[in-house]
Amino acid sequence: MREQYEEFARHSRQLGLDPGTYDDYVAIEHAVADANLEWHNDNADTADLAAEAAFHEWEADTASGQYLRMERADALTAAVEHAAELDIEQAQALLHERINSPEHHRLLTACDQARSIEKVAEQRWATVENSDDADALTSARSQLYDAYCARLIAEDDLAAHTTITDAYAARVRELSGTTPAEDSPPAVESPSKPHATAPAETNSASRDYTWVMEPATEDERRNNHIAVSDLAAYRGISTEQASEMISAEITSGTKPDDAIRGLYRNYNPAADNDRRFVVVDLTTNTPSPGCSEIVNSGIVVITSRGEITDRINELHGIDPRAARTIGTGTHHLRYDEIHGQPQFGDSRSKARLQALLDDPNTTLVAHDGSRQRQFLAANGVTAPRVIDTRRLTERIDRSGGTLADFTAAHGIDHPAMNGAYNNALATARGLLGFWREQHK
């Protein structure tokens, strides 16, 4: 990595560039892409695959700002060494100069502006996040995500300046034994995380289905809506038909929980030859549907008899400004694995998904399906109905809500953190096991 960094610095100077901010690196990325194309054309017949892979890694590191971070780390080391050589007056003078420099004020202003723009975008997203308008969702997500990425970069640039200033402030403290307020640079706010609403915990009491014939409260209406929507998706019927079926069972004297469970048990998908199920799992770089990109999509298409007719496992590129979000959390991807891949909006997965879901006989299936559906909607894919295997395992199986709980309840061993495609395949197998359990 160090050799690549030094090579990068030399190459930058040859291009007449002196990178200091992320914007400089964006310019360099374009130059690198041109150089890569020229290199590939010149070496098409004799290209060494290892050399080409190394070049791709270098290109990915450039786009993600890896070399910028290394350069800033070197600058901080140099500042600490320089500060150690200063006396109290020199350190105070340099500290005062950095705090009051035009560059520092420019970076502070840029941060404030980026946060304000992101706040406006968050407010716009909040007005549409529960909408069925795919265009409005996609537009609002795009605006919010762009603002989020811009804020990340603004905070990075300010933090890089501030950490060097802190080195001189530390020297002043060391020599004076005090820390005058004016010697402390303005604090950099901790980067805020994208807003995400965690799925509500389900306790044992709430696992029973409820139904109110004439709902009067918001909770009653919501519970009725969930029961109707889930049953309609499972049986492939309209919500009006599902509501009528539930009401008829309860009117006949059956308790709501028994009535709704019975309507699951007495429907056998294998007898409905026209139906098709698209089982999906998505990996995203942040937990918020309105402020994320899909980095891995796994799709398994099955018939009502359980035959797999299509499989997709696709990685997707993201805005390089958000490269830091890769390699964190549970997905264990590296940025160079997705760099250069089409973003989800231009991917085979999106085109295939929408084509499948436009068929009224096709139903989306996903674990924590309502949330996966939100991510799809925010990226322009609409799913009229979804079978949520998380709710199936909580309500019907009365087990835990994880994918591992669902698959284990139906004889499928599925380790955690297994990738989007393997998660989708495990969900499909778990659903087939669920069907067998209902009709054995």
Q: Which two tokens stand for residue 429?
A: 């197998």
244 and 344 inside one domain: no
C-alpha closest to that of 294 among 130, 60, 138: 138
Look up residue 377 and give its amino acid. A
pLDDT value of position 399: 84
137 and 27 inside one domain: yes
86 and 170 inside one domain: yes
C-alpha closest to that of 121 among 133, 139, 107, 100: 139
In a domain, 375, yes or no: yes
pLDDT value of position 198: 40
In a domain, 185, yes or no: no
397 and 249 inside one domain: no
Alpha-carbon span 75 to 59, nearest angstrom: 23
Angle between helical axes of 134-176 and 66-83 (0-180°, round to 10): 20
175 and 276 inside one domain: no
In a domain, 194, yes or no: no
In a domain, 308, yes or no: yes
Look up residue 417 and give its amino acid. M
Is the separation of the CB atoms in 343 and 293 below 8 Å? yes
pLDDT value of position 26: 57
174 and 301 inside one domain: no
Phi first, then psi: give them for residue 290, nearest 5 degrees.
-85, -5
CATH of the domain at 358: 3.30.420.10
In a domain, 205, yes or no: no
345 and 292 inside one domain: yes
Angle, CA of 370, 309 and 373, to the nearest 5°: 10
28 and 174 inside one domain: yes
221 and 341 inside one domain: no
Residues 6+ apart with CB under 8 A from 329: none
pLDDT value of position 160: 95
Which residues of the chain register pLDDT less than 50? 1-2, 5, 180, 182-183, 187-205
pLDDT above 70: percentage of residues in the chain: 80
Is the separation of the CB atoms in 134 and 380 below 8 Å? yes
Last residue of a domain, one of 128, 157, 180: 180
pLDDT value of position 97: 96
106 and 166 inside one domain: yes
141 and 247 inside one domain: no
218 and 337 inside one domain: no
Domain count, the chain: 3
In a domain, 306, yes or no: yes
In a domain, 371, yes or no: yes
Query: β-pairing, 294-303 with 308-315?
Result: antiparallel
Last residue of a domain, one of 160, 180, 200: 180
Number of Cβ within 10 Å of residue 310's Cβ equals 12
Phi first, then psi: give them for residue 303, nearest 5 degrees.
-85, 175
Domain extent at residue 171: 2-180
In a domain, 92, yes or no: yes
Indicate the SS3 state at residue 312.
Answer: strand
pLDDT value of position 432: 93
pLDDT value of position 328: 55
Residues 6+ apart with CB under 8 A from 412: 426, 429, 430, 433
